[in-house]
Amino acid sequence: MNKKIILAAGVLTTTLMLNSCGITTNSSSNNTGGNILSEVLGSMGNANTIGNVLNSVLGIDKPSERDLIGTWHYSEPGVAFTSDNTLAKAGGEVAAAQAKTKLTESYKAIGLRRDNTQLTFNSDKTFSGRILGRSINGTWTYDSSNQKIIMKTLFFTLPVYAKRTTKGMSYLMESKKLLTLLQTASVLSGNSTIQTVGELSKNYDGIRMGFEMKR
């Protein structure tokens, strides 16, 4: 069977399940769901569309604590749309894709690379890593129900959300938290171009940003 048909059927099935469960309970919601579904199916000519939608939804595949343990190297920017409405998440793929493109440019501008950005989560609940070449270390806890990691260092506490992807794992945070983290690392490394990320934190509410990483 054509892959596009299979993917379309999956999206349609999800929509029908949501409707049958009463998640969309009024005509306004049904119209919204239908419009978003139409947009998604209408863009099936792009083979990556559905895959990108799924990769951009926080909560679609929750990692266990064991999944996190190990060393992760930066691969590319990570983003996730955080709306509570599943169909709105699919529609938010456009905004997430735009944010990822801009984040790619910003990361390149500040020199963020695989060789200077990594995280290691240990089974004894300690972690270490580097952000833009600056070392960080501390302790961590994980709540799998909301995919939230609390990373505590001597100087700050950072909430990070883990999301399993087809490429590895995304470690994401609220845009303002990401800005603070990168600002701190940039100041320590003498980089003055961090304002590009600052603009993103103002323009993309509802999207968590961070790093997609591979082992």
> Per-residue pLDDT tens for 105-148?
889 988 899 999 999 999 999 999 999 999 999 999 999 999 99
CB atoms within 10 A of CB 92: 23
| pLDDT reading at 41 higher than 80 | no
Mean pLDDT of 46-63: 59
